Chain A
Amino acid sequence: MTVETYPWAPGFVAGDRPRIVTSRFEHEDSHTLERYMATGGYEGLRAALAKPAAEVHEQVRGSTLLGRGGAGFPAGVKWGLTPEGVYPRYLVVNGDESEPGTYKDRLLMERDPHQLIEGCLIACYAAGLSRCFLYIRGEMALAQERVATALNEAYAAGLVGRDILGSGFGVDIVLHWGAGAYVVGEETALIESLEGNRGMPRLKPPFFPAAIGLYGKPTIVNNVETLSNLPFIAANGAEAYTAIGTETSPGTRMVAVSGHVRRPGVYEIVNGTTTFRDLLYGEEFCGGIRDGNELKAFVPGGGSAPWFLPDQLDLPFEGRQVGAAGSMLGSGAIMVMDSTTDIPAAALTLTRFYAHESCGKCVPCREGGTWLMRVLERVVAGEGTTDDLDLLLEVGQSICPGDMPHASSEALGLEATPFPYKMTTICFVGPSAYVPVHSALTLFRSEFEERVAPSRSRTRIPVVAVGGGQ
């Protein structure tokens, strides 16, 4: 067993396991064209350009590469949803990573920008996309700098732009920075932002971006990690990719594990087979809970995901099984809470985030998120009443009507309710404000009850929902 870290890639932890997207991280100069070329760079693009575009598309479909942004939709299938014969078509790269707990796209952009660029080119070639916009989160100055430098190098080397490698295939990649808005990670909001508007999601269905997207044209929105897998698939074939991982979740995945563990880090893991116990306790991963404490709960898939208990530790990091157990893998981020954690206060940090990031388009999210936050703040401050706990669930029901997914608990005698939930909003920001409240209240109700006073004579304390978070 080996564990390696590199001072030039803070947070990343390498081990003795297959590496697809982080294969160059051990090199300090992995972001340069020189190193990229010396380590098989742009071989995937060459292999792709030697085949008809449809064949490359078929190869990606055959790899069952799942989108890494959160929804986990197969990339090859997504590309095929564009209406036949309608052009131009665009590629929009979602590098607006901001889900709480998540970071892997930032590392991929900082450490291996050429891999991403090569992935963009392969996608554009395969799906007939004639212009690419690479949208990087505004707060990521180093990633912007690395990708800009790599693009300048690639243009100068004839790898991007007109007539790439003399093949007749040509596409521009335009670098674009965001300016601080979580909701823009939602693909239709990203498109709005790229059109120069407020980043508010578009109503869908009926029209998904693959049909009507940027400038009203067919648009594929793919995540940075998704695209970073394409050079490997194009160079080595779909079989080499599906040989790693499981049938439903092939390849590898980047997972960030943070919070109360001994060795928090970003790990590239084998998809579908690695369990949460491996990740949290394995010596090659996090090595257990800090200070020898007990695990209390963990968020398995980014801040939007319903929480898990130690009961769920033996589940593999695999979408369907995690969904059946009441949560989701989302963007590949685990946040760990040990026995010292103040659960209502921890839930508040997430609810505050989503309330703050509401774009204001859908009423249940705009009003409900802030309302949840204010009631929860009152409870955490010890100023709430038992009625407030019911009020939290009632407000939540107006965002997510019906059964909410949650984990099973042997101690509480709870059966799991599977993912997903129903929602009254266009996107997941509103429900995500409620998810931590619901998880915490369902799995740790006694911690809330200890904090609140019995209800007063007045049955409801009026709450005035004003303003945004901070």
Chain B
Amino acid sequence: MSRFSAENLTLAREIVSRYPRPKSAVIPLLHLAQEQEGWISEEAMREIAELVGVTPAEVRGTGTFYEMFHFEPIGRYLLNICGTMSCALMGAGELMHAAEEELGVRAGGTTDDGLITLHGAECQAACTEAPCLQVNYRYRFRVTPDGVRQLIADLRSGALSDEIPPHGTLATVRQHIPSDRAVGAVDPDVDTAPPAWIPVTVEGASS
């Protein structure tokens, strides 16, 4: 649909520069594209391919392996309901039924207004707080069927629009490595000397 904004293009170049091999930046840049558009378009993949020096097919090849990347538009809110063991034992099935009924879509579907996409998810690492769910990867713990209905009502009314950014945004704080503090990414085939703090003369010091 569209290419990186000027600001994101600068950020993308900064991200690429952190890795000794540019292809390592494919996943971070797919995240960046998804943050900008909410999903990942063909054009975004072409641009990422240019930035890291691989083919668009390689970018797609990597991207399609990972569950979090979406290659067609989805809802503004992605509602992921966990269904793995601990959540299942504590009633995740009822949550999913309540959500499906309330939204009028089955797991995997998006509401007609394009607001909410419902997914069954695998373990979200909050098993003691079961059953749990995530909205755009923001947790809700020990959720009841009524809690799901309320959550959906709040998403619809916009009550949570400040708390939960649109789909695609993960952390709202980014790492920035100040150039005067950075050691820098060096080609691993060029710089093969031991690091400065490892004494080369001491036998076995680093082994």
Contacts and interface: CB of A to CB of B under 8 A. Distances in A.
Given A199-B65, A215-B188, A87 B195 contact: yes
B155 interface: no
A100 B21 contact: no
Q: Which of B67, B69, B85 has the most chain A CB within a 10 Å cutoff?
A: B85
B197 A125 contact: yes
Contact of B176 (A82, A152, A196): A152
Contact of B20 (A128, A131, A175): A131
Interface in A448-470: 470
24 contacts: A54-B204, A82-B207, A87-B192, A100-B127, A101-B85, A128-B198, A142-B139, A148-B171, A152-B173, A155-B177, A161-B183, A169-B195, A172-B183, A177-B31, A180-B68, A181-B66, A196-B25, A197-B62, A215-B188, A259-B89, A259-B127, A350-B84, A353-B85, A357-B122
A259 B24 CA distance: 38
A179 B66 contact: yes
A418 interface: no
Interface in A69-83: 80, 82-83
A284 B92 CA distance: 28
Interface string A315-348: 0000000000000000001010100010001100
Contacts of A470: 107-108, 119-120
A83 B85 CA distance: 41
A158 interface: yes
B160 interface: no
A423 interface: no
B185 A131 contact: yes
Interface of B: 18-21, 23-28, 30-31, 52, 54, 61-63, 65-69, 80, 83-86, 88-90, 107-108, 119-120, 122-130, 134, 136-139, 141, 170-178, 180-186, 188, 191-199, 202, 204-207
Given A131-B20, A258-B127, A299-B85, 18 more contacts: A52-B202, A82-B206, A83-B207, A84-B206, A125-B197, A139-B124, A139-B134, A140-B125, A141-B138, A148-B171, A156-B178, A172-B185, A175-B175, A179-B66, A198-B62, A198-B65, A264-B127, A352-B83
A179 B83 CA distance: 19
Interface in A152-208: 152, 155-156, 158, 160-162, 167-172, 174-182, 193-199
Given A84-B204, A139-B124, A350-B84, A260 B89 contact: yes
A138 B120 CA distance: 16
**Secondary structure dominating the interface of B:** loop
A196 B52 contact: yes
A425 interface: no
A11 interface: yes
A259 B181 contact: no
